[in-house]
């Protein structure tokens, strides 16, 4: 089975408090985008206790195969429901350390593929519980629809926000941001208005209102993120922001805005353009 795990962007991200378990509470809007990796999952004959295999191509992955989230998806599900081993080939396109959720998406899509391949009696809710054991934003990719995330990001509430038809440009400067470091740079605190309420404004009014708490913290060490955001505004974006804890930055454009040629405008950087 060949699957295409897609990236996400965060539209607003408030870090509201430090938890007793060492994690942070957040509020954010997860929104799926069309930038994808490519994953092939093939069942292997053998005993159910055998390990699955992984190889990869594309963007270099700096971890041992056993630590890859695709294999963690298989092993986590196998702990709950014994399933045969599989061979996984991951062709990595989504940049790493970018805040685009590529690894979490790969894992969630592998879970979805395993459910289908082995005809498992697992609802989306049940699969989401498995996904939560892999990563905080993995559950979002089980549903893969716009959702407000709270808690660590694993508590999801369906969102009616629809950006269909808007254009998007994602720019990654080639810098990998360590999530733990990024959280250490943010001072958690309540915002005057919950993100859910701010997002009720017309998207054209989001600029200056819908904030990502990581932007200021990360830009102190990596000012290129703000440079990219400002350039996207200069090119006509009605809203631009860093996604997640960075370092990718995206711009949203009205459907009738003339866009294109962004690769030339951001030389040496990863650039992806599409329509939501």
Q: Which residue is it, tokens 């062709």?
A: 91
pLDDT category of residue 47 using cuts at 50, 70 and 90? low
Over range 27-54, report the average pLDDT: 88
Q: pLDDT tens for residues 228-273? A: 999 999 999 999 999 999 999 999 999 998 887 899 999 999 999 9
How many CB atoms within 10 Å of residue 49?
9
> Looking at domain 2-158, which of 2.70.150.10, 3.40.50.300, 3.40.50.620, 3.30.230.10 is its CATH number?
3.30.230.10
Taking phi first (over 0 means left), then psi (-120 to 50 degrees means alpha), and beta for anything else, what does residue 2 get?
beta
How is the chain split into domains, by residue range? 2-158, 167-275
Give me the active site residues, please.
Answer: 8, 137
Sheet holding 249-253, edge to edge: 239-242, 249-253, 167-172, 270-275
pLDDT of residue 65: 67
Report whether pLDDT(48) > 60: no
DSSP type of residue 212 = B
- Nearest residue to 130 (alpha-carbon basis) of 72, 188, 185: 72
Q: Is 58 left (phi over 0), alpha (psi -120 to 50) or beta?
A: left
pLDDT at 66 over 80: no
pTM of the model: 0.95
pLDDT digit string, tens, across residues 89-106? 999 999 999 999 999 999
What are the φ/ψ torsions at residue 220 (nearest 5 degrees)? -60, -35
Superfamily of domain 167-275: GHMP kinase, C-terminal domain (3.30.70.890)
């Amino acid at each position: 089975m060949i699957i295409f795990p897609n990236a996400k962007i965060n539209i607003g991200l408030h870090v509201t408090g430090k938890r007793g378990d060492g994690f942070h509470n957040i509020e954010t809007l997860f929104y799926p985008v069309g930038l994808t990796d490519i994953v092939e999952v093939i069942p292997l004959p053998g005993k159910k206790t055998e390990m699955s295999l992984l190889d990869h191509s594309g963007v270099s992955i700096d971890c041992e195969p056993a630590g890859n989230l695709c294999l963690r998806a298989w092993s986590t599900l196998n702990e709950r429901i014994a399933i045969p081993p599989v061979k996984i080939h991951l062709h990595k396109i989504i940049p790493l350390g970018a805040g685009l959720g590529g690894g979490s998406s790969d894992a969630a899509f592998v879970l979805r593929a395993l459910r289908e391949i082995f005809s498992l009696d697992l609802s989306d809710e049940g699969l989401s519980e498995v996904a939560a054991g892999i990563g905080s934003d993995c559950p979002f990719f089980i549903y893969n629809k716009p959702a407000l995330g709270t808690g660590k990001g694993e508590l999801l509430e369906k969102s009616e926000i629809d950006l269909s038809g808007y254009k998007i440009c994602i720019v990654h400067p080639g810098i990998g941001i360590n999530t733990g470091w990024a959280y250490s740079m943010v001072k958690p605190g309540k915002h005057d208005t919950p993100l859910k309420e701010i997002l009720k404004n017309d998207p054209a009014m989001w600029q200056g209102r819908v904030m990502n708490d990581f932007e200021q913290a990360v830009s102190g060490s990596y000012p290129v993120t703000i440079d990219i955001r400002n350039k996207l505004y200069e090119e006509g974006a009605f809203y631009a922001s860093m996604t997640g804890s960075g370092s990718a930055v995206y711009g949203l454009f009205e459907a009738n805005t003339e866009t294109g040629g962004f690769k030339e405008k951001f030389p040496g950087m990863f650039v992806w353009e599409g329509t939501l």
